[in-house]
A = this chain, B = another copy of it.
Amino acid sequence: MNFEMIRAASVRAEGHVRRTPLLSSPFLNELAGRPIYIKAECLQHTGSFKFRGGWSALSALEPEIRARGVIAFSSGNHAQAVAHAAALHGTSSVIVMPADAPTVKINNTRALGAEVVLYDRGTEDREAIGSALAKERGLTLIRPYDEPQVIAGQGTCGLEIAEQADELGIEKATVLTCCGGGGLTSGIALALEKSPHHVRPVEPYGFDDVARSLATGSISRNNRQTGSICDAIISPQPGDMTFPIMQRLCGPGLVVSDDEALRAMAHAFERLRLVIEPGGAVTLAAALFHADQIEGDALILTASGGNVDASMFARALQTLETP
Contact = CB atoms under 8 A, between A and B. Distances in A.
A310 B306 contact: no
A317 interface: yes
A27 interface: yes
Question: How many copies altogether?
Answer: 2
A84 to B, nearest CB: 7
24 contacts: A15-B167, A18-B21, A20-B21, A21-B21, A23-B43, A26-B111, A26-B112, A27-B111, A40-B43, A42-B273, A43-B274, A266-B310, A269-B313, A273-B274, A273-B275, A273-B276, A273-B306, A273-B307, A274-B274, A274-B275, A310-B318, A310-B321, A314-B314, A314-B317
A322 B193 CA distance: 49
Interface in A255-278: 266, 269-270, 272-276
- Give the residue among A306, A307, A318 with the most B Cβ atoms within 10 A: A306
Contacts of A318: 310
A132 to B, nearest CB: 30
Nearest to A272: B43
Interface of A is mostly: helix
A299 to B, nearest CB: 19
A269 B42 CA distance: 11
A201 interface: no
Interface of A: 15, 18, 20-21, 23, 26-27, 30, 40, 42-43, 47, 84, 108, 111-112, 167, 266, 269-270, 272-276, 306-307, 310, 313-314, 317-318, 320-321
Nearest to A306: B273
A165 B275 CA distance: 25
A317 B321 contact: no
A68 B84 CA distance: 55
